[in-house]
Amino acid sequence: MRILIACGGTGGHLFPGLAVAEALLSRRHEVRLLVSEKAVDQAALASLVVRGGSALSIRSLPAVGYLGLRDVVRFGSGMARATGQCAALCGEFVPDVVLGMGGFTTAPAMLAAFWKATPALIHESNAVPGKANRCAAWFARHVAVGMADCARFFRRKPVSVTGTPLRSQLRGGKVPDARQQLQLDPHRLTILVMGGSQGAHAINEAVACTLPRRRGWTDSVQFLHLSGAQDEAFLREAYSAHGFTARVMSFCDRMELAYSAADLVVSRAGAGTLAEIATFGLPSILIPYPFAADDHQAHNARVFERVGAARMIRQSALGDTDAEKGERLGAVLGELLADDTQRRRMSEAAHSLAVFDAEERIANLIEQHAHQTTTH
C-alpha cells in the first residue's frame, strides 16, 4: 500500500507525521512525505534515519500562506500551483490514501486527492482546528483528532479520537539516569522550562524575574531551561547571579531526557508538547502563546486544566513590571513545589490524558479506508 502524508510547516505537524510514517513502514507500506521548504522541516529530516530503503521518500512544497484579503490573488495563484504539484505527485506516486496532518501542505494535498478520487484523511492535534484542516475536512473521508474537544468542529464527518502521535524516542518511558546524563543533581526538585524549538522570551523573562524573590529555593530546586538561542546567555547569567543550579540549553534534541528529569514543567501549550507532557505524566504550568491562531493554545491548556493536570496562566496575567512577573509565576511555582500530594494528583491527571498508540490508531484508519476502496 502507498500512503502520501502531508505534514510540513511546523514541528507540530511534522513530528506526528513522521511517527505515523514509522508505524506504516513497520507494516511494510510505502510512504511519501510531503513537507515544506522551511528550515524546521529540513533540519528535522536531515537527522531522520530512513528505514526500509526506498519505502520512504520525501518531497518539498513551497510555503503558501494566507495573509488577508489584500493577498487573495497571490494566495490563490500559489495554492493553484501547489495543488497542481500535488496532483502531479499523486499521478506519479499513485497513493492509496492521502493523510493531511494540518498546516499549509495539507490543503493542496487534500484538493489533489479529491481531484484524483483518492481516499483522504486528516489529523488535527489541537482542541480547536486550524484553518487548513477546517478547509481540508470538506475533502476528507475521515477525521482523526488528538483531543476529544475537537470532535464537535467536524460533525459532518466520521471522527475518531486517536491522540497525537509522538516521536519514537518519546514512547519508551522515563529514562532512569536522565538527570545524571544532563549533569543535574539527582536529588533536587527539577523544573523544566521550555517554550518550543525557538524558546519563548516572555516565559524566559518571567522565570528570570522570579529568581531574586525565591532565593530560599536554591538548596532544594534546580532548573532545566530550554531557552532558545537568543536568551541563552541572559538566562545563564540570571541563574548564576541568584545562586541557582541550572542547566540552560538553547535547544534539546533528547527530549526524553528532559521530560524524565522533570518534576514540574513550565511551558507553552502546543498540542504536541501537551501530548508529550501527558505521556510522561508531568504536572505543568501552562502559559499559552497569546497570538496563536484562534487562541488554540489556550483551548488546549483548558483541556489539561479542566481535569486537574495543569495550572494555566495567561501571558497578560503575568503583568508588565518585573515585580509583577516574578510574583505571579513565583506564587504558583511555590504552591506546587511545596505540595507533593497536589503534584502527584496532577501527574495522575496528566497521565490519564495520554494516548500511547496514536500512530497505530491512525495507521489502522488508513488501512481501513484503503481496504474499503479496493473492495468497492
pLDDT in tens, the chain (376 residues): 999 999 876 778 888 999 999 999 999 999 999 887 666 666 666 655 444 444 677 776 665 555 555 555 555 565 667 777 788 888 888 999 999 998 878 888 888 899 889 999 999 999 999 888 998 899 999 999 999 999 999 989 999 999 999 988 898 899 999 999 999 999 999 999 998 655 689 999 999 999 999 999 999 999 999 998 899 999 999 999 999 999 999 989 899 999 999 999 999 999 999 999 999 999 999 999 999 888 999 999 999 999 999 999 999 999 889 889 889 999 999 999 999 999 999 999 999 999 999 999 999 999 999 877 665 5
Q: Do domains 2-168+356-374 and 172-352 have the same CATH topology?
A: yes
pTM above 0.75, yes or no: yes
pLDDT reported for residue 168: 86
Spatial strand order of the sheet with 284-286 comes to 245-249, 221-226, 189-194, 264-267, 284-286, 310-312
Place of cell 518585573: 322
**Per-position b or e across 157-167, b if 16+ CB within 10 A of its CB:** eebbebbbbbb
Residue 321 phi/psi, 5° resolution?
-90, 160
Beta carbons of 124 and 147 less than 8 angstroms apart = no
pLDDT reported for residue 59: 73
pLDDT reported for residue 53: 45
pLDDT reported for residue 81: 75
Distance CA 349, CA 278 (A): 8
pLDDT reported for residue 69: 54
The per-residue DSSP string of 196-248 comes to STT--HHHHHHHHHHGGG-GGGTTTEEEEEE--TTTHHHHHHHHHHTT-EEEE
Beta carbons of 104 and 34 less than 8 angstroms apart = no
pLDDT reported for residue 203: 95
Distance CA 191, CA 212 (A): 16
Architecture of domain 172-352: 3-Layer(aba) Sandwich (3.40)
Close Cβ partners of 148 (under 8 Å, ≥ 6 residues apart): 161
Q: Which residue ranges make up each domain of the chain?
A: 2-168+356-374, 172-352
First and final CA of the chain: distance in angstroms?
Answer: 16
Query: Is 97 exposed, middle or buried (CB count within 10 Å of its CB: 0-12, 13-18, 19+)?
Result: buried
Report CA Rg, the chain: 21
Alpha helix (H) residue ranges in the chain: 11-26, 39-46, 72-93, 106-115, 131-136, 178-181, 201-210, 232-241, 255-261, 271-279, 296-306, 322-337, 340-352, 358-374
CATH topology of domain 2-168+356-374: Rossmann fold (3.40.50)
C-alpha cell at 62: 513551497
Q: How far is CA 129 from CA 21, 135, 136, 365, in A?
A: 22, 10, 11, 20
Q: Which residues pair with 170 in a beta bridge?
A: none
